[in-house]
A = this chain, B = another copy of it.
């Protein structure tokens, strides 16, 4: 363990207190206050201990409870002062009324930061709750940074810190940081990210935000080398001016994707009851976010899709694209959608059309762009040829391939074999990867799943396998063509592409 201590620094000119984020996000020793000796306990402290252990956190864990005892073979310390180690980070999950003194104890032993999972503070709207939160702020101001209270805390795949209750989140680290008051939103996005292929540098759910909040976290993440993309879900903000300037500064360095909830009258009401924040006017927010250069999204699905695009695509605009799919209607829909989002689908020159046409079934196929391969079972090598040829047109900067995998179910039934066996999905992904490598132009895969029935679970599983294969080869996957095109348009707008 490092023998360095954090020296008391003067606040920098930013006005933010000194913060040792390294000790907070990558702690070598974590104290968990509020762990009972009951291994099956449902308390937040015990739950968090189990979750961090399940994540395979490699540092030291120190459970704390005034009653003492043992849990999972570990001694439960009666107070943090008894811990024979330098503690970097504390998880506080004791009853609200004991939180200020617990935090004070953590400060005393030099803990750099704490997340307070307990609720029972300003969100109650009671005088007692507000007073307890004020006391947290008072302790924090004296030298310990606080995430919370009333939050799910920090998820950091690299170190193994996780949300309450997030024992199953990915340990794979990635470029996306996420900040939100809402713990529910944070854990939903953490789960969705895991399934969609979004990997995170760190996520912070800060609940009531008594101390660390959006503006300061933005400033940190803008400088964090592990973070390439910042995303936020905002219900309300505390210091508008500071937030705007940090947002603008961060967005100048890396994409900042903002989902602002509560932009309607009823939404603002809902926000107020959720985290006691003010919502805000739709037009004002749109204009603020645009001026700051942030990327605004309008729901959780769009947020996830846009994060995926920024995380997996090269940092540049894609003005012209090609779209390859089986079934003409897909092409029509694609064009209409692309036009809506200001993306071009240039008609390929005759020589490329001929080249592409030569590998496609006739009649029924069309090589103009969108490229209709006519038959959803056209083989991967032919699809690779199509992508290689279309990429020869310099106006094509990105390619989208839409695969309707459920059509393989018919083949599976005809041959009496499982659908995942008759579908050449590994070869498909290999061919697409080869095309990306040979052309230097990114490809996005779209894998629509129209099935919803219990009898089509095999198709759903096939799509999941294919998605996994694509993601493992660095190719982003979307459910719907529309989602992919909309995500590209956000990338274009951020990197100075054609603005709608």
Contact = CB atoms under 8 A, between A and B. Distances in A.
Nearest to A362: B124
A360 to B, nearest CB: 12
Interface residues of A, number: 77
A265 to B, nearest CB: 7
B452 A274 contact: no
A107 to B, nearest CB: 27
A318 to B, nearest CB: 15
A221 to B, nearest CB: 21
Given A195-B452, A329-B233, A464-B457, A335 B370 contact: no
Contacts of A484: none
A64 to B, nearest CB: 24
A266 B338 contact: yes
A182 interface: yes
B261 A336 contact: yes
Nearest to A346: B266
Contacts of A370: 266, 270
A495 B185 CA distance: 35
> For the complex formed by this chain, how many copies does it contain in all?
2
A38 interface: no
A368 B269 contact: yes
Contacts of A261: 329, 332-333, 336
B453 A270 contact: no
B452 A188 contact: no
A270 B368 contact: yes
A450 interface: yes
Interface of A: 119-120, 123-124, 165, 182, 184-185, 188, 191-192, 194-196, 233, 235, 261-271, 273-275, 298-301, 327-340, 344-347, 363-364, 366, 368-370, 372, 404, 406, 410, 450-454, 456-457, 460-461, 464-465, 467-468, 480, 482
9 contacts: A123-B363, A192-B450, A194-B453, A262-B336, A266-B335, A270-B332, A270-B368, A299-B482, A301-B480
